[in-house]
């Protein structure tokens, strides 16, 4: 059974940093691209970043490029999202997801990140 479990601190001050982790199980992690998607309260889904299965390629949405960094550790079956210079409008539920080559085939439960003073 595929499982994706996100973790990280939930509350951060504006201008601060936070690293989210997502531990994967139930599939050959190194073979798949991994994705981060977020959803602000009451709003729609926003793709943030993708890292290829090889780890050689990364892609970012314009809204987070230069502030967020995706990385992965295949030995730990873990993908990370380093978030710097956080703003109030970064408040959202952050989902880790597996790129099944046909969109997202598996999602984590999501983790709420609140940026507030």
Structural tokens at position 3? 């499982």
Bridge partners (DSSP) listed for residue 27: none
Show the site string, 43-62: x = touches another protein by CB under 8 A, - = not: -xxxx--x------x-x-xx
**How many CB atoms sit inside 10 A of residue 101's CB?**
8
Q: Please give the Cα distance from 96 to 16 (Å, whole number).
A: 21
Show the site string, 58-97: x = touches another protein by CB under 8 A, - = not: -x-xx--------------------------------x--
Residue 58 three-state SS: strand
Q: Output the smallest distance, CB 72 to another protein, in A.
A: 16
Which residues contribute to the site for another protein (CB under 8 A)? 35, 44-47, 50, 57, 59, 61-62, 95, 100, 102-105, 107-110
């Amino acid at each position: 059974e595929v499982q994706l479990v996100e973790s990280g601190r939930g509350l951060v001050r504006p201008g601060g940093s936070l690293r989210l982790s997502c531990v994967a199980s139930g599939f050959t992690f190194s073979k798949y691209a991994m994705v981060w998607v977020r959803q602000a309260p009451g709003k729609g889904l926003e793709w943030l970043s993708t890292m290829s299965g090889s780890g050689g390629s990364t892609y970012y949405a314009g809204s987070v490029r230069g502030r967020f960094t995706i990385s992965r550790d295949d030995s730990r079956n873990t993908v990370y999202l380093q978030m710097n210079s956080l703003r109030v409008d970064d408040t959202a539920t952050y989902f880790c997801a597996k790129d099944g080559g046909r969109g997202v085939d598996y999602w984590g439960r999501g983790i709420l990140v609140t940026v507030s003073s």
